[in-house]
């Protein structure tokens, strides 16, 4: 198995989380060694209880993990890990960078020059128009627009960048196989075809409430600045 596959497996363990996974990597240095460690050794890592340790020992043989790898290969989903040289530079420098990024589409070097546009899901028509026009102007200036694919300001921002022929990155709070909100499926596909849709979550994870604050740190981390509309 490749290093990426080991990290995908660890990322699928729901009660592990980025901080605990970071502790494991700091302790064992190589992902493969985490899986070879005995249960008792894993449980000596702060925050790793018996349930999590057993999850680590069993995940490689689960149907869910094997299916995850099949879909990644079939749909040509790009995987970037914190150990990769081409992991997004801006994101690597935040306090708590994701260990694994699932990417539908492509991230380019020029996407390092990015601005995030965010705002209310229940924005007024005027607010959406402002976001749309601002995104267009940023795209005309060859800056990438980053947002969260939510209703309201996010959607208007993505559309503005696309309509200007520019690049826009959508960072979502679910897995790439769960488009949320569902009415944005066409927008999701437009972004994936011309730019990139990104998630740190396993492919089929639903948009749980706690996912969105975690998603927000990626939006800001990919960007040189954040504009709240």
Q: Where in the chain is the domain with CATH 3.40.50.450?
A: 104-228
- Its pTM stands at 0.91
Q: How confident is the model at residue 17 (pLDDT cuts 50, 70, 90)?
A: confident
Fold adopted by 104-228? Rossmann fold (3.40.50)
Is the pLDDT at 140 greater than 90, yes or no? yes
pLDDT band at 229 (very low <50, low <70, confident <90, very high): confident
pLDDT tens readout for residues 24-73 = 999 998 999 999 999 999 999 988 888 898 899 999 999 999 999 999 99
- 184's CB contacts (< 8 A; 6+ apart) are 149, 151, 155
- CATH class, range 3-74: mainly alpha
Q: Which residue has the higher pLDDT, 17 or 217?
A: 217
Q: How confident is the model at residue 93 (pLDDT cuts 50, 70, 90)?
A: confident
Looking at the chain, the whole-number percentage of residues with pLDDT higher than 90 is 78
Residue 111: is its pLDDT beyond 90? yes
pLDDT, tens digit, for every residue of 146-198? Answer: 999 999 999 999 999 999 999 999 999 999 999 999 999 999 999 999 999 99
Residues of the chain with CATH 1.10.150: 3-74
């Amino acid at each position: 198995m490749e290093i990426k596959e080991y990290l995908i497996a660890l990322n699928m363990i729901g009660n592990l989380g980025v901080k605990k996974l970071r502790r494991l990597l700091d302790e064992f240095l190589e992902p493969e060694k985490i899986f070879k460690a005995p249960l008792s050794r894993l449980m000596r890592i702060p925050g790793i209880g018996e349930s999590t340790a057993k999850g680590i020992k069993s995940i490689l043989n689960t149907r869910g993990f094997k299916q995850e790898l099949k879909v990644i290969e079939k749909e040509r989903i790009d995987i970037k890990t914190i150990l990769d040289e081409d992991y997004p530079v801006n994101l690597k420098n935040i306090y708590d960078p994701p260990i694994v990024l699932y990417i539908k589409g492509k991230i380019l070097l020029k996407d390092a020059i990015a601005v995030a546009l965010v705002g209310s899901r229940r924005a007024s028509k005027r607010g959406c128009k402002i976001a749309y026009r601002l995104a267009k102007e940023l795209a005309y200036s060859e800056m990438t627009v980053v947002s969260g694919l939510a209703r309201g300001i996010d959607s208007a921002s993505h559309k503005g960048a696309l309509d200007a022929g520019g690049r826009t990155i959508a960072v979502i709070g679910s897995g790439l196989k769960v488009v949320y909100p569902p009415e944005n499926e066409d927008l999701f596909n437009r972004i994936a075809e011309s730019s990139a849709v990104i998630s740190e979550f396993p492919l089929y994870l639903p948009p749980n409430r706690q996912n969105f604050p975690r998603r927000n740190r990626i939006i800001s981390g990919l960007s040189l600045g954040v504009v709240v509309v």
